[in-house]
Amino acid sequence: MRLLGAPAFLLGALSLLLGGCEGSSSHSLQYFLTAVSEPNQGLPQFITVGYVEGHLFSQYDSVTRRKQPRVPWIKKVEEEDPHYWDRETQISQNNEQVFRRNLEIARNRYNQSGGFHTWQTMYGCELTEDGSPGRGYSQLAYDGRDYLSFDKETLTWTAADSKAQITKEKWEKEPAIGQRWKAFLEGGCLEELQRFLDYGRESLLRRDPPVGKVTQEKGYDDRETFVCQAYGFYPKEIDVTWRKDGEVWQEGTFHRSVAPYPDGTYHAWLSIEIDPKERDQYRCHVDHAGLGEPLVLAWEAPVSASNLGLVIGCVAVALLLIIAGISGAWVYIQNRQEGYKAALTIDRSSSSYSGGSDISI
C-alpha cells in the first residue's frame, strides 16, 4: 500500500494494520486514520486516507484541515452530492479531536509519559467480482501493534492484551456500538464502494495484461536462480508459479511480491533456485485477468559475442550479395535496440462512518 507524500514511518504502520487484508479477486474500500503524539518530518498529527482498489482517492490531515480528493474521478461525487466534501471534512475534524484524546488515554493506560506513539484505525469492506458482499472489518492498533478487532457476525471485539480488554468490555456494554458498525459494514460501506467503482470504472475496472520475462542470476554451490518478472498489469491480483516438467514446483521458490508502479500498474516477481543441469525443465506460468491464456515463460540464454558476430556477418554478406546483384549500390545498415519500459458518526444516510472514532476507548 502506498501513501503519497507520507514518510516511511506511516507506510510501515499502515502495513502492520493491513496484514492479511488483501483479497484475491474482490473490490475493496479501505480507510486509515492515524494520530501521532509528536508530529515531525512532515508527518501531521492526524491524517485520514481513503483507498479504492488500493488507490488513494481522498485525504485529510491536521495541517490542511480539509478533506480533499486525490484522483480526478472522485470529483464526480460533487455532481450527486454538492456538500460531500464539507460533510467529510466535518467528520474528519471530529475524528481528529477524538483520536488525540484516545492517544492520550492509551499512553496513560500503558504508563507512558512521553515519546513517539501512534493510535490507528483501519476499516473497510469488499465486493466480490459477481457483486456479492465480501468481508467487512474494523481494526484498531496502538504503536503499530494490534489493539482491537471487530467481529460483525457476533458484534464482539477481540482484545490483543489486558489494556485493550478495558475498551472491549466498555464497548460491548453498549450494544449500539457494534450494531452501528455492522449496519455500516454491510450497508453504507458497500454502497459507497459500488458508487466509487462506478465513478472510476474506466480507471479502476480496466484490465491491463502483464508482460513477462525470466532472468538468470548466479547462486551458491553451483546453483542458479531464475527470476520470473511480470510488468505493467492491472488489477494487482496475479498468479505466478514455477513449474518443473509441467507440475507446479514450490521447492526453492522465494521472494514473491507484488508492488505498485507510479503509473498505477503493478510489478510482480517470483524466483527459484535450480540445478543448472535442469534449466530446460523449468517454466514460469503467469495468469492474470487481462490475459486470454496464461503466459508460459522460459529462460533464454543470451547470444554470446562471438556467435552474435558470426550471425551478423552472415546476414551482412547475404544482404550485400543480393543488393549487388540488383543495383550494385552501397548500403549502410544501422541497428537499433529498443529497451523494455514497464513501461465514526453515521452520516450521509448511513453511507459514511467515522471509523468508531467518535467513541473514546
Q: What tens digit of pLDDT does each residue of 233-263 get?
A: 998 889 999 999 999 998 888 877 888 888 8
150, 139 Cβ separation under 8 angstroms: yes
What is the average pLDDT across 311-337?
39
Task: Give the model's pLDDT for residue 5.
Answer: 36
CA distances from 344 to 58, 65, 304 (A): 17, 17, 64
Task: Give the model's pLDDT for residue 152.
Answer: 96
Query: pLDDT of 215-228, one tens digit each?
Result: 998 877 788 999 99
Q: What percent of the chain has pLDDT over 70?
A: 78
- Residue 13, judged by CB atoms within 10 A of its CB (0-12, 13-18, 19+), counts as buried
What is the average pLDDT across 297-320?
58
207-343 CATH, one of 3.50.90.10, 3.40.50.740, 2.60.40.10, 1.10.1060.10: 2.60.40.10
Altogether, the residues listed in the chain come to a count of 361
Is the fold of 8-204 the same as that of 207-343? no
- Confidence band, pLDDT 50/70/90 cuts, at residue 15: very low
User: Three cell numbers at 160?
Assistant: 490483543
The residues pairing with 228 across neighbouring beta strands, listed in sequence order, are 214, 270
Beta 224-233 vs 266-274: how paired, if at all? antiparallel
**pLDDT above 80 (res 162):** yes
- Confidence band, pLDDT 50/70/90 cuts, at residue 40: confident
In 10 A of CB 24, how many CB atoms? 7
pTM higher than 0.75 for the full model? no
What is the average pLDDT across 322-335?
36
What is the average pLDDT across 300-315?
56
Task: Give the model's pLDDT for residue 344.
Answer: 42
Task: Give the model's pLDDT for residue 82.
Answer: 96
Task: Give the model's pLDDT for residue 209.
Answer: 96
Task: Give the model's pLDDT for residue 263.
Answer: 84
CA distances from 297 to 103, 125, 204, 211, 338 (A): 51, 36, 28, 10, 21
Mean model confidence pLDDT for the chain: 82
**pLDDT above 80 (res 181):** yes
What is the average pLDDT across 270-283?
94
Task: Give the model's pLDDT for residue 218.
Answer: 83
**Closest CA relative to residue 72, chosen from 322, 256, 264:** 264
Alpha helices in the chain (DSSP H): 8-18, 77-80, 84-109, 162-172, 175-183, 189-199, 201-204, 305-326
**pLDDT above 60 (res 126):** yes
Query: pLDDT of 56-81, one tens digit each?
Result: 999 999 999 999 999 999 999 999 99
Q: What percent of the chain has pLDDT over 90?
A: 63
Task: Give the model's pLDDT for residue 252.
Answer: 85
The ranges assigned to domains in the chain are: 8-204, 207-343
**Closest CA relative to residue 96, chosen from 47, 39, 51, 163:** 47
**pLDDT above 50 (res 308):** no
User: What is 8-204's CATH superfamily?
Assistant: MHC class I-like antigen recognition-like (3.30.500.10)
User: Three cell numbers at 27?
Assistant: 473490490
